[in-house]
Amino acid sequence: MTKIQTRDMTAGSAQKRQLAIDLIFVGLAAVFFLLWAWQSSYMDGPDELMRYDIVNYLVEHWSLPRGDDPSIINPIWGFSYAFQPYIPHIFSALFIRIAKLFTEDMHVLIFAGRLASVFFGAGTVWFTIKIARKLLPAKADGWIFIFLVTFLPQMVYLNSYMNCESMAIFSTAVIVYSWIIGLERKWDMKSCIWLGVGLSLCALSYVTAYGFLLCSFFLFCLTILLCQDKKWDFKSMIQKGLVVLAVFLVLAGWWFIRNAILYQGDFLGLTARDICGELHAQDAFKPSKHWTIKMSGVSASEALKMLFWEWKWHSDTFKSFIGIFKEMAVLIPTVCYTIYKIIFAVGILGCIIEIPKLLALRKDGKWLEKGFFNWFMILALIIPNVLNLYASYAIDYQPQGRYSMPMLIPLMYFTVYGITKLLDSFIKNKMANTVIKILICVIVLGISFVGFWSYRVACLSMN
pLDDT tens digits, one per residue of 287-340: 988 889 988 888 878 888 889 998 999 999 999 999 999 888 899 999 999 999
pLDDT tens digits, one per residue of 351-404: 999 999 999 999 888 999 999 999 999 999 999 999 999 999 999 999 999 999
Output the pLDDT for position 162.
96
The answer to whether the beta carbons of residues 401 and 304 sit under 8 Å apart is no
Output the pLDDT for position 96.
97
> For 325, phi and psi rounded to 5 degrees?
-120, 170
Higher pLDDT, 49 or 298: 49
Distance between CA atoms of residues 404 and 108, nearest Å: 30
Please report which confidence band the pLDDT of residue 423 belongs to, taking 50, 70 and 90 as the band edges.
very high
With 70 as the cut, is the pLDDT of residue 81 above it? yes
Q: For residues 207-229, give the mean pLDDT.
A: 96
Q: For residues 155-175, give the mean pLDDT.
A: 97
Through-space distance between the first and last CA atoms of the chain, rounded to whole angstroms? 65
Output the pLDDT for position 314.
94
The CB density around residue 84, as the number of other CB atoms within 10 Å, is 18
Helices (H), 40-163: 48-61, 87-100, 106-135, 139-150, 153-158
Q: Taking all residues of the chain, what is their mean pLDDT, rounded to a whole number? A: 94
pLDDT tens digits, one per residue of 389-418: 999 999 999 999 999 999 999 999 999 999
Distance between CA atoms of residues 125 and 147, nearest Å: 9
Output the pLDDT for position 310.
87
The answer to whether the beta carbons of residues 158 and 121 sit under 8 Å apart is yes
Report the percent of the chain where pLDDT is more than 70. 97
CA 347 to chain centre: 20
Half-sphere exposure in the Cβ direction for 456 (13 Å, CA): 12
Looking at residue 333, what DSSP letter applies? Answer: P
Crossing angle of helices 189-203 and 234-248, rounded to 10° = 50
With 70 as the cut, is the pLDDT of residue 7 above it? no
With 70 as the cut, is the pLDDT of residue 1 above it? no
Output the pLDDT for position 10.
62
CA distance to 44, 69, 262, per residue, from 280 (Å): 24, 11, 18
Please report which confidence band the pLDDT of residue 4 belongs to, taking 50, 70 and 90 as the band edges.
low
Output the pLDDT for position 9.
54
